[in-house]
Structure 1
Amino acid sequence: MDHIAFGDTPLSRCHFYKRVCDLPATVDSPHLGRIIMKAEHVWALILPAHLGQAVKTYMQHHGSDIGPILSHPRSNRWTLLVRPDIPDDARLFAEMFRLNVSVVRTGGTVALPSPVDNGAQFRRWIEAPRCTFRPSGLVVVDAIRACSGLYRPVKRWTAHV
């Protein structure tokens, strides 16, 4: 999806996002061809690209499946699309804020790559969506913590008999 194929239009791309990937995408501005997704049953984590790369590598090395990831080259940020299982916890959001990570929850908006974007200048897929899979938001948050040096594994106590 990094190149414009014959017949690839904002409308056809949006149709693919909806039917194949179950992403609630719409063409935001028909004359501009921008594609957006309202966060509903899909949320997003937006983070610095260097942290996104570390998270992707960490998850792959720890056996976690990677879901759709897009890059915003001009702002040097990545967006990871996730399942909406991140709890509404002020401490968690403050922790992510300190790491320059934004959580896009229900009602938020995410811009998706469109065939009319100027090459890969605006948005491009790092891992393109190919199906409806998205990783757990909590799994991605744990990977962010691990890559930021904030991961504190839960102590497991065992009874001695």
Structure 2
Amino acid sequence: MTDTKVPAYLQDSPLSRSMFYRRICSLPTFVDTVTGQIMMTAGSTGAVMMPIDLAQRVKVELHRRNVGQCPIIGHPRARAWSYLVRTADMRPIGDPAALAELWRAHVVVIRDGNIVLPSPSPDHHAHRTWIVPATSPFRPSGTTVLACVRHVLDAAKPRTHGPY
């Protein structure tokens, strides 16, 4: 009988998954040496995080606009999703009313810092899962995702039709 042990670099591990994210998905990932979590440094790729109920409606709107498969990270404990987006075209939101609306809807834009990505090893502290996995370098424009968020929020507002 021969020992057919699979080399570590071929096993699904945080390191192999991080390498996949870097090579195939062009995500700037690394494995945190303390926690073992797969991290991504935000920059040209960031995230738009929102509650699940809003995120599901945004996903439908993105599909309606033929945006493509957007990588989405699920945060089950927080009941939120994060859309991975291109940040190059995102400008600061100058309108205080629009900013307040996003704030009230619990929408957070992450343009810098580290983002935790799903990992094949158990993560008991900050569990992440893929709703739509990253499988390519494609990420939608952050501006497009925020436009869909605003569209969905606007569609949910009660309409007034005049005095009658």
State the TM-score, normalized to the length of structure 1.
0.81
Alpha-carbon offset, residue 118 of structure 1 = 4.8
Stretches of 4+ aligned residues off by more than 3 angstroms: 92-95
Q: Which of these residues, 77, 80, 94, is aligned with residue 74 of structure 1?
A: 77
Query: SS at the partner of 1:148?
Result: helix
Deviation string, structure 1 residues 104-142 (Cα, Å, up to 9, x no partner):
01x3221100111259x8111011011100001111111
Larger C-alpha radius of gyration, 1 or 2?
2
Paired letter, 2:43: E
Question: What is the number of equivalent residue pairs in this alignment?
Answer: 143
Identity %: 38
Q: CA RMSD in A?
A: 2.0
Moved more, 21-30 or 92-101: 92-101
Structure 2: gaps of 5 or more residues:
1-9, 157-164
Give the alignment of 1:22-37 within 5 angstroms: 22-29=26-33, 32-37=35-40
Alpha-carbon offset, residue 149 of structure 1 = 1.7
CA distance in 2: counterparts of 1:94 and 1:110, whole angstroms:
24
State the TM-score, normalized to the length of structure 2.
0.79
Query: SS at the partner of 1:29?
Result: coil
CA distance in 2: counterparts of 1:61 and 1:19, whole angstroms:
30
Structure 1: gaps of 5 or more residues:
1-5, 152-161
CA distance in 2: counterparts of 1:150 and 1:50, whole angstroms:
14
Native 8 Å contact 1:93 1:103 kept in 2:
no
